[in-house]
């Protein structure tokens, strides 16, 4: 019998507290949950529920105030011990790819240059050979020499997705990726995420307030006031 595969992400009693003067605001208040490898999980909730804060902590963009975070069975945070920015960066580039509501493409670089931009700073062995396949998969190959200003919103987000995937991350974090897109493009992105998960085996964690988009996932987790409220059907 083989050893059980640890979850891709495991959070135990995770807290993130912000201080505003004398006031303490618990944006994430004792969240415990895990995401298996190859899973597609959506996190939904009303505005101010702590979704973005949670995904930031899970994605090592931020240190938790307390609690434990494990990635692939390896403990990253525990007992409130903060990691240095340099250490966080090393973890991020090995494990995660990110897409956001704003596409953050560099306007003076064309599509191909934007996609391979992560290689300027760090390139995983073998990652370079995947670029063409990625461009075709995301249906932006024919636009590779165009500038972002010449693309539609949906195309720009797909470029952002390609950039997030170019270094073969284990986990894709998507924070409101369709916030700036119309319904049709939003559906396209939703299908794209589902495809990446099902066909490529990518672990996807999606934060959204769009329930229809959230339903592309296998599991939906609802957050309210920094706490997990429950699972949605």
Q: Which stretch binds other proteins (CB under 8 A): 33-41, 70-78, 91-99, 190-198?
A: 91-99
Work out whether 229 is an interface residue with other proteins (CB under 8 A): no
Q: Which stretch binds other proteins (CB under 8 A): 6-14, 31-39, 72-80, 82-90?
A: 82-90
What is the distance, to the nearest Å, from the Cα of residue 80 to the centroid of all Cα atoms in its chain?
Answer: 23
CA distance 214 to 6: 25
Tokens of 207: 């934060």
Looking at beta carbons only, is 119 or 227 nearer to other proteins? 119
Per-residue burial over 195-225, b if 16 or more Cβ lie within 10 Å, else e, is ebbeeeebbbbbbbebeebbebbeebbbbee
* Distance in Å, CB of 194 to other proteins, minimum: 22
Work out whether 61 is an interface residue with other proteins (CB under 8 A): yes
| 117 three-state secondary structure | helix
Single out the residue of 38, 179, 194, 225 in contact with other proteins (rule: CB under 8 A).
179
Question: What secondary structure letter does DSSP report for 169?
Answer: -
Work out whether 109 is an interface residue with other proteins (CB under 8 A): yes
Q: Which residues in the 185-224 window bind other proteins by CB under 8 A?
A: 207, 209
| 181 three-state secondary structure | coil
CA distance 14 to 188: 33
* Distance in Å, CB of 5 to other proteins, minimum: 25
Q: Which residues in the 125-164 window bind other proteins by CB under 8 A?
A: 128, 131, 163
Q: Which stretch binds other proteins (CB under 8 A): 74-82, 149-157, 172-180, 195-203?
A: 172-180
Single out the residue of 19, 22, 23, 85 in contact with other proteins (rule: CB under 8 A).
85
Tokens of 113: 């240059």
What φ, ψ does residue 101 adopt, rounded to 5°?
Answer: -65, -45
Task: Of 203, 156, 204, give the one whose Cα is nearest residue 181.
Answer: 156
* Distance in Å, CB of 189 to other proteins, minimum: 16
Residue 91: left (phi > 0), alpha (psi -120 to 50), or beta?
Answer: alpha
Work out whether 121 is an interface residue with other proteins (CB under 8 A): yes
Work out whether 34 is an interface residue with other proteins (CB under 8 A): no
Helix (DSSP H) and strand (DSSP E) numbers for the chain? 7, 10
- Chain positions contacting other proteins, by CB under 8 A: 45, 47-52, 56, 61-62, 85-86, 89, 92-93, 96, 98, 100-102, 104, 106-109, 112-113, 116-123, 128, 131, 163, 167, 175-176, 179, 207, 209
């Amino acid at each position: 019998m083989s050893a059980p595969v640890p979850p891709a992400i495991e959070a135990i009693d995770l807290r993130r507290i912000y201080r505003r003067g004398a006031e303490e605001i618990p944006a994430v208040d004792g969240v415990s949950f895990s995401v298996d490898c190859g899973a597609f999980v959506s996190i939904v909730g009303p505005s101010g529920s702590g979704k973005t804060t949670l995904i930031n902590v899970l994605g090592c963009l931020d240190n938790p105030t307390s609690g434990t975070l494990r990635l692939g069975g390896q403990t990253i945070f525990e007992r409130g011990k903060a990691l240095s920015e340099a250490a966080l960066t090393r973890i991020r580039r090995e494990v995660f790819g990110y897409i956001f509501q704003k596409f953050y493409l560099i306007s003076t670089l064309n599509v191909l240059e934007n996609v391979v931009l992560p290689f300027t700073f760090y390139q995983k062995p073998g990652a370079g050979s995947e670029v063409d396949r990625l461009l075709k998969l995301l249906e932006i190959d024919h636009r590779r020499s165009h500038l972002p200003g010449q693309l539609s919103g949906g195309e720009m987000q797909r470029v952002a997705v390609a950039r997030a995937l170019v270094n073969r991350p284990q986990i894709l974090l998507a924070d409101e990726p369709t916030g700036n897109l119309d319904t049709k493009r939003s559906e396209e992105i939703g299908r794209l995420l589902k495809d990446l998960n099902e066909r490529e085996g990518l672990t996807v964690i999606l934060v959204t307030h769009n329930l229809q988009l959230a339903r592309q996932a296998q599991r939906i987790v609802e957050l309210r006031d920094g706490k997990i409220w429950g699972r949605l059907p």
